[in-house]
């Protein structure tokens, strides 16, 4: 039967999901059966265990137990892996904020050379820099920007290039799926990095949407093309479409349409390489904990039954 990944694969793209051995679902056989299904999944993103607070909780002491497990699992299944993420203001151990500003560049370089170097040649892509901008398009004043200004992005990209020369190197961002100040800031950054010859290969669009507010296919395509016209690839990296609770048959049907429209935007752009959802089942999602009153954002329900959204993904390809 046609699944979410087989439909993507027929278009030369992948469909994948967040998956992390650190999560309780790793031992939930019902959930893992969804991830095991090669018709639906062709790519995995380690949701938490490659973040700085997991890999380098204390300075220069590295932990890889869970990402090693995930990468081995992915290789057994023939799944691509996206590494997420090397430099991000969030899930960052507090010691990084206490480093002397003159040492921040070497701290970034040491982190990336270790973590990206560990998986050299094994990952499809890295989200080298995650969420660099505020909503108004200004730079986030995190420890990296505070010490180095915007040069931290190039420092991180160069370090990732040296550590893993074959991985596609991405900047990943949210709320850049429609035009606006944040979107314009990211386009300007991409242009300046490309013209400077920095090793940037792709832009990740997180695509955390609210039902009824998902961008149209045409809007997404035109956002993607701002980067593909520079020769960069794009990917949808963390797709979910949250529904104000309780969900109804009407809202679930609307969610199907919105999933289909989003996937269709990737299909319409040659350099959109694939779509990753932020999970498979509504049983395991970050949404209710982060956006109280919202839920039901994924393709399978809490009992692991296919939702209309599943058909939306298949039909979008």
Candidates 56, 173, 238, 258; catalytic one: 238
Site for ligand XIL in 238-277 (CB under 6 A): 238
Question: Which CB atom, from 37 or from 48, has the smaller least distance to ligand XIL?
Answer: 48
Cβ neighbours around 52 below 10 Å, total: 20
For ligand XIL, the closer CB: 284 or 317: 284
Q: Which of residues 68-97 bind ligand XIL (CB under 6 A)?
A: none
Binder among 48, 114, 192, 311 for ligand XIL (CB under 6 A): 48
173 is catalytic: no
What is the contact mask toward ligand XIL in residues 214 to 243, using x (rule: CB under 6 A)? Answer: ------------------------x-----
Q: Confirm or reject binding of residue 311 to ligand XIL (CB under 6 A).
A: no
The residues facing 294 across adjacent strands are 244
State the sign of the Cα–Cα–Cα–Cα dihedral 209, 214, 219, 221: positive
Q: Is 206 in the site for ligand XIL (CB under 6 A)?
A: yes
Cα atoms in the Cβ-side hemisphere of radius 13 Å centred on 91: 17
Instruction: Show the binding pattern over residues 119-138: x = contacts ligand XIL (CB under 6 A), - = does not.
Output: -----------x--------
Q: Residue 82: which of 276, 317, 309 has the closest Cα?
A: 276
Binding-site member from 62, 139, 286, 291 for ligand XIL (CB under 6 A): 286
Work out how close the CB of 204 gets to ligand XIL at its nearest, in angstroms, rounded to a whole number. Answer: 9
Q: Which residue's beta carbon is nearest to the bound ligand XIL?
A: 286
What is the token pair recorded at 8? Answer: 């993507």
Report the C-alpha gap between 130 and 242 in whole angstroms. Answer: 21
For the window 147-186, what string marks contact with ligand XIL as x by the rule CB under 6 A?
----------------------------------------
Is the Cβ of residue 130 or residue 214 nearer to ligand XIL in the bound state?
130
Any contact of residue 66 with ligand XIL (CB under 6 A)? no
The whole-angstrom separation of Cα 234 and Cα 228 is 7
For the CB of residue 218, give the shortest distance to ligand XIL in the complex, in Å.
25
Residue 134: closest CA among 172, 94, 174:
174
Among 47, 49, 54, 183, binds ligand XIL (CB under 6 A): 47
For the chain, the first-to-last Cα distance in angstroms comes to 14
Angle subtended by helix axes 181-195 and 151-163, to nearest 10:
60
Instruction: Name which of 35, 165, 14, 159 is nearest 86 in CA terms.
Output: 159
Strand partners, 274: 14
Instruction: Please give the DSSP secondary-structure letter assigned to residue 291.
Output: S
CB 224, CB 308: distance < 8 Å: no
* Nearer CB in complex with ligand XIL: 56/238: 238
Distance, in Å, from the CA atom of 94 to the CA atom of 97, rounded to the nearest integer, reads: 5
Q: Which is nearer to ligand XIL, 73 or 317 (CB)?
A: 73
Active site residue 238: yes
Q: Which of 56, 131, 173, 258 is catalytic?
A: 131
* C-alpha gyration radius of the chain: 19
The catalytic residues are 131, 238
Which parts of this chain interact with ligand XIL (CB under 6 A)?
47-48, 130, 206, 238, 278, 286
């Amino acid at each position: 039967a046609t699944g979410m990944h087989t439909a993507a694969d027929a278009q030369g793209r992948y469909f994948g999901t967040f998956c992390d051995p650190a999560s309780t679902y790793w031992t939930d056989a019902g959930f893992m059966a969804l991830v095991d299904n090669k018709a639906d999944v062709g790519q995995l993103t380690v949701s938490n265990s490659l973040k700085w607070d997991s890999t380098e909780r204390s300075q220069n002491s590295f932990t890889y137990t869970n990402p090693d497990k995930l990468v081995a699992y992915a290789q057994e299944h023939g799944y691509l892996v996206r590494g997420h993420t090397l430099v991000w203001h969030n899930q960052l151990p507090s010691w990084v904020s206490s480093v002397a500003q003159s040492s921040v560049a070497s701290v970034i370089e040491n982190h990336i050379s270790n973590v990206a170097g560990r998986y050299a040649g094994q990952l499809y892509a890295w989200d080298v820099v995650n969420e660099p901008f505020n909503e108004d398009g200004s730079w986030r004043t995190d420890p990296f920007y505070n010490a180095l200004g915007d040069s931290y992005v190039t420092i991180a990209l160069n370090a990732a290039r040296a550590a893993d020369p074959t991985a596609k190197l991405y900047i990943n961002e949210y709320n850049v799926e429609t035009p606006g100040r944040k979107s314009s800031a990211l386009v300007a950054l991409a242009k300046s990095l490309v013209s400077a010859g920095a090793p940037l290969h792709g832009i990740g669009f997180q695509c955390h949407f609210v039902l009824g507010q998902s961008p149209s296919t045409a809007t997404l395509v035109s956002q993607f093309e701002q980067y593909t016209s520079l020769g960069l690839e794009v990917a949808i990296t963390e797709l979910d479409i949250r529904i104000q609770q309780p969900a109804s048959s009407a809202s679930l049907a609307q969610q199907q349409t919105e999933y289909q429209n989003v996937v269709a935007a990737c299909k319409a752009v040659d350099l959109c390489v694939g779509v990753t959802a932020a999970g498979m089942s509504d049983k395991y999602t970050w949404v209710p904990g982060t956006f109280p009153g919202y839920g039901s954002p994924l393709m399978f329900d809490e009992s692991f039954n296919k939702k209309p959204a599943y058909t939306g993904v298949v039909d979008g390809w």
